[in-house]
Structure 1
Amino acid sequence: MIFINPKTDYAFKKIFGSSESKDILISFLNALIYEGSSTIKDLEIINPNLPPKIEGLKDSYLDVKAQLKDGTLVIIEMQVINVQSFGKRVFYNAAKTYAFQLQAAQGYRLLKPVIALTITDFEMFPESEDFSSRFVFKEVNKNFTYPENDLDLVFVELPKFTKELEELETLADKWIYFMKNARSLTSVPETMDSVPEIHQAFDIANQVKLTREEVEDLDRIEQFIHDQQGAIIKAVQEGIEQGIERGIERGIEQGIERGIEQGIEQGIEQGIERGIEQGIERGIEQGIEQGIEQGIEQGIEQGIEQGIERGKREEKLAIARQLLSQLDNATIAQVTGLSVEDVQSLRGDS
């Protein structure tokens, strides 16, 4: 057997939104919204389109829409491609469904809750590992639920569901496995065939029961989806490549700037060190030169002084020699300024 892909728009509506799908949809919603309990006993499948009641307001098109016995509205959407602002679109459709319940002059007490069930073939919440997420209005600090909590957003992310056939346990497991893998199956698995509603869903999804035109339309839809996914992947890859290139360019620029800064700093440090070394060397050289000059000057001065002193002594000695024959030693010493010992030495020499 060949089964149509329940993730495509046409197949999803045919399986869950046709006139013969009531029991299938009840089982599906109980599994994904109420954890498999039989909360929903009955429902009415209604026209999913939401034409605007106000001129200029955006149209909304849903895959399946149903009303439960208590009046609660359930809108179901299967989304294969992650388009821009998809999260806002989900919230918009839920809010619009809630607001358009009332006619003119009707009271707010007539408003019924809205549950928006969204199945995605991509990850919406990378911060969570769970394949199912539920959002309601809650107080931020105390975490209590808003009294009139009439908007309920439920998400099922198919890529996060990784269970194999033999690992299926709950009704939700089986329905999600059906959504994710029906296209690749060739028969109804025994573990799933035991659920009448899932068996019926496989029966509707059997491609043999489709007309040739329906099969061709489905093929075109799947091809379009593959093309769109390929375009997105290509765009992401190109974006990554461009980001890497720009990152490298900026890295080089920043590296050059930092290199210049560090080079200047190191150059200044090395320049200071070399300057100190050269300054010391030049200082030593200049000090030696100046020392030599000063030494020469001082030597000359001292030589002159010593020469003068020696000249004066020689003059005194000459006078003393002339007086040796005329005066005694003490008198000669007094007259010449020599010591008595010097005079006595001269007298002994003569």
Structure 2
Amino acid sequence: MRFINPKTDYAFKKIFGSAESKDILISFLNALIYDGNATIEDLELINPNLPPKVEGLKDTYLDVKAQLKNGTLVIIEMQVLNVQSFGKRVLFNAAKTYAFQLQKGEGYRMLKPVIALTLTDFEMFPGRHQFASRFVYREVSDGYVYTENDIELIFVELPKFTKDIEELETITDKWIYFIKSARSLDQVPTNMDDIPELHRAFEIANQANLTLEELEDLERREMFIYDQQGAVALGRQEGRQEGRITEARALVLRLLNKRFPDNTAELNSLVEGLSLSALEELSDAMFELNNWEDLLTLLADINQ
């Protein structure tokens, strides 16, 4: 058996973001948010990529978005590349999700809590040893928790999770191991197969159940991620910002040319002159594009 990489956006959404996998998402969220307790009984999946309600405001690109039975909104993002200002993006997405719950004329009492669960394939907080971190609003001097603490940020840093298969004890351990290591496995570990939702997740991730088109799309995405990681590492090693920009621009153009082969000349002019942060933002949202108009809208949004 071979499994797709849950860390890619396409695979993550396929495993956790479809109506057929609602039980999988419930188990996953209970494990990572509620320490394995069966707190979430039911939830509703919501379109994670909604256009802004205010003209000129940036679009939001998430992997999975759900509303729990008690009204709490959970937004989930799996991030492989350590792009510039990623932490600010997490906070922006959480704040936007919270603020845009209300329709005209509705009172603030209608607002429901928002939990932003972010998994990173890089160290978000260097020097901090715990792989999971939770942030809420607290008073600076004595740590008193703000009464209306409706926005909570949860981070899981995969590189800091170092348990081997035989060391997995909790359901939280097993879900994190699945995300981090499923791509390298050739069978379902026996100590993980006793959880029905995890078994189903492995079934969905089994390459044998995918079409050739799906496998080719996944391969392109993984290759792009590896190329981007290599470009960032090369830029850091050389210590030259211009080198990183050149590499990033070349990689973005290469992938865009595959997606839009009839627009090569236009692509060169559109990408030329973009900053490194803009190129990283473009690459991060690229696979959400369905057509040429989506690309133009995204570039306009980035250039604001």
Q: Supply the AA of the counterpart residue of 1:196.
A: P
With a CA cutoff of 8 Å and minimum separation of 6, indicate the structure with the bigger relative contact order: 2
| Aligned position for 1:44 | 44
Listed as ranges, the matches of 1:181-330 within 5 Å are: 181-239=181-239
Give the drift of 1:233: 0.7
Q: Supply the AA of the counterpart residue of 1:9.
A: D
Listed as ranges, the matches of 1:3-152 within 5 Å are: 3-152=3-152
Q: 2: CA distance between counterparts of 1:127 and 1:113?
A: 30
SS at match of 1:20: helix
Instruction: Specify every segment of 5 or more residues in structure 1 that has no aligned partner in the other structure, as ranges.
Output: 241-350
SS at match of 1:159: helix
Q: How many residues align?
A: 242
Q: 2: CA distance between counterparts of 1:160 and 1:50?
A: 32
Instruction: After superposition, give the CA deviation of every residue in 1:272-291 in whole Å (9 maximum; x if it has no partner).
Output: xxxxxxxxxxxxxxxxxxxx
Q: 2: CA distance between counterparts of 1:95 and 1:234?
A: 34
Q: Supply the AA of the counterpart residue of 1:160.
A: K
| Aligned position for 2:295 | none
Q: 2: CA distance between counterparts of 1:119 and 1:50?
A: 21
Q: 1: CA distance between counterparts of 2:235 and 2:198?
A: 37
Instruction: Specify every segment of 5 or more residues in structure 2 that has no aligned partner in the other structure, as ranges.
Output: 241-304
Q: Supply the AA of the counterpart residue of 2:116.
A: A
Q: 1: CA distance between counterparts of 2:127 and 2:174?
A: 25
Percent of aligned pairs with the same amino acid: 74
Q: Supply the AA of the counterpart residue of 1:90.
A: V
Larger-gyration structure (1/2): 1
Give the drift of 1:93: 0.2
Give the drift of 1:51: 1.0
Instruction: After superposition, give the CA deviation of every residue in 1:89-139 in whole Å (9 maximum; x if it has no partner).
Output: 000000000000000111000000000000000000012100000000000
Give the drift of 1:54: 1.0
SS at match of 1:162: coil
Alignment RMSD (CA, Å): 1.3
| Aligned position for 2:165 | 165
Q: Supply the AA of the counterpart residue of 1:208.
A: A
SS at match of 2:239: helix
Give the drift of 1:45: 1.0
* 1:50 and 1:97 in contact (8 A); partners too: no
Q: 1: CA distance between counterparts of 2:112 and 2:23?
A: 22
SS at match of 1:145: coil
Q: Supply the AA of the counterpart residue of 1:30.
A: N
| Aligned position for 1:179 | 179
Give the drift of 1:21: 1.0
Give the drift of 1:153: 0.2
Q: 1: CA distance between counterparts of 2:110 and 2:127?
A: 37
Q: 2: CA distance between counterparts of 1:126 and 1:32?
A: 21
Give the drift of 1:159: 0.2
Q: 2: CA distance between counterparts of 1:42 and 1:149?
A: 23
TM-score by length of 2: 0.78
Q: Supply the AA of the counterpart residue of 2:42.
A: D
Q: 2: CA distance between counterparts of 1:44 and 1:78?
A: 19
| Aligned position for 1:305 | none
| Aligned position for 2:262 | none
Instruction: After superposition, give the CA deviation of every residue in 1:199-221 in whole Å (9 maximum; x if it has no partner).
Output: 00000001111111100000000
Give the drift of 1:186: 0.5
SS at match of 2:191: helix
